[in-house]
Amino acid sequence: MDREIAPGIVVDERVCFGKPVIKGTRVPVEVVLGKLAGGASVEDVMAEYDLSREQVLAVLRYAASVIAEEEVHAVG
C-alpha cells in the first residue's frame, strides 16, 4: 500500500524498493531529478515518462522541501 509523503509523491515498499515515486506511476523522484539536472527540459521529461507538468513540478517541490529540512555542518 502506498503512502503519500508529499503532494503527488508516494512510497510503497513494493514499488522501486520503497523509494519515492510520482503518485500513480512507477517513476522514481530521483530519475526525474537526474534528468532535469542533466539538462533535460520539463517538456522532455514529460514526454519521456508520460507525465504532466504538475507531476514534474511535484517532484521539484518535494526535492525543495527535503533540502529545506537538511542540516548542514561545516567540516574543518
- Structural domains in the chain (count): 1
CATH code (residue 51): 1.10.10.10
Structural domain of residue 35, as residue ranges? 3-69
Q: Is residue 14 part of a domain?
A: yes
pLDDT digit of tens for each residue in the chain (76 aa)? 899 999 999 999 999 999 999 999 999 999 999 999 999 999 999 999 999 999 999 999 999 999 999 998 989 7
Q: Is residue 75 part of a domain?
A: no
State the Cα–Cα distance between residues 73 and 76, nearest whole angstrom: 10
Q: Is residue 76 part of a domain?
A: no
pTM (predicted TM-score) = 0.90
Q: Is residue 74 part of a domain?
A: no
State the Cα–Cα distance between residues 49 and 38, nearest whole angstrom: 16
